[in-house]
Amino acid sequence: MTDQELLAAQFEEHRDRLHRLAYRLLGSGAEADDAVQETWLRLARTGDDEIDNLGGWLTTVTSRVSLNMLRSRATRGESEYDDALADPIVEPAGSVGDPEASAELTDAVETALLLVLNRLSPAERVAFVLHDTFDVPFEQIGELLDRAPEAARQLASRARRRVRAQSGTTDASDSSPEPGRRIVDAFFAAAREGDFDGLVSLLAPDVALRVDGGLSATAIVRGATTVASRALMFSNPGAVLKPVSIDGRPGALVLAGGVPVSLMAFEVEGDVVIGIDAYTGEERLAGIRLPA
């Protein structure tokens, strides 16, 4: 076996872990593949003669490649389109879930976490994922981010608070059995009544509406006034709303004439909506298992 073949074999032992790391950081399987491939190319050029800890070196390089991709994405302002949304797990509102669906729900939790991570800055995301998921020390994270270890610790702490807040933590004043349901009901009531100001008051200033119409990419609309205007534009007074739980988030199945026309999932933080995922179109909804 040649030195290059031996190096490739050693790299393959780490590939799955590196892909998990890149996927958590980037939220895209295709981009994670690219990051791992770039890591291999750098290793192949460098060799392992000067590398004392191959696993640590690969973690650092994959993280740095992913961080550069995140920063490049932010610089380009890629906010109009994103990857198509994953198929959601939809259950009747307040359902505790079917034990047979545990594997599907695990995937749904992973998807929900990625949605939350997307709202972190690149530095926050890297610090949080590397420390809390892969147990990388803050000294190493600080070197990667060109920050002091304490600054890296603060980034991870801030990200952790945001993740907890945006993962649907129940507010003590919300007596609803499903966190956020009261806000979702108020949102639809305002839309039905044409209450623009009421809608805006229920939306975070930087709220993001992602619309998956069955295409390869998801359209994204940002900002409270823009999202409120869109909600009023497409509001149907004759529609019937069926409360549902979507990946553990409060949502609604919208029916017109008894036919599903859209499925909407809400991310609620405190008393405002911070994100909405909308699945629309007959073809897209046909691919989602909806409750009877």
Q: What is the pLDDT of residues 136-159, one digit of tens each?
A: 999 999 999 999 998 899 888 878
Give the model's pLDDT for residue 196.
Answer: 96
**Residue 3, phi then psi, degrees to nearest 5:** -60, -40
**DSSP state, residue 278:** E
- Determine how many CB atoms are found less than 10 A away from the CB of residue 251: 29
Percent of the chain with pLDDT over 70: 80
- Cβ–Cβ under 8 Å, residues 142 and 149: yes
| pLDDT band at residue 236 under the 50/70/90 scheme | confident
Q: What is the pLDDT of residues 239-279, one digit of tens each?
A: 899 999 987 789 999 999 899 999 999 988 889 998 899 99
Kindly list the structural domains of the chain, giving each domain's residue range(s) and its CATH number in brackets, ordered by start: 1-78 (1.10.1740), 181-286 (3.10.450.50)
Q: From CA 123, how far away is CA 290, in angstroms rounded? A: 38
**DSSP state, residue 130:** I
| pLDDT band at residue 169 under the 50/70/90 scheme | very low
Give the model's pLDDT for residue 216.
Answer: 64
Give the containing element (helix H, strand E) for 19: helix 3-26
Quote the pTM value.
0.53
Report in angstroms the alpha-carbon separations of 214 from 166, 283, 288.
Answer: 26, 7, 11
User: Where are the strands (E) in 70-216, listed by range?
Assistant: 81-83, 90-92, 203-212
- Minimum mean pLDDT among 176-180, 225-229, 234-238: which range? 176-180
Of 178 and 121, the structure prediction assigns the larger pLDDT to 121
Dihedral sign (CA 108, 16, 215, 269): positive
Percent of the chain with pLDDT over 90: 44
Of 269 and 7, the structure prediction assigns the larger pLDDT to 7
Question: Up-side HSE of residue 7: CA atoms within 13 Å toward CB?
Answer: 16
Q: What is the pLDDT of residues 32-91, one digit of tens each?
A: 999 999 999 999 998 888 898 999 999 999 999 999 988 886 554 444 455 566 778 788
| pLDDT averaged over every residue in the chain | 83
Mean pLDDT value across residues 163-192:
70
How far is C-alpha 111 from the chain's CA centre?
6
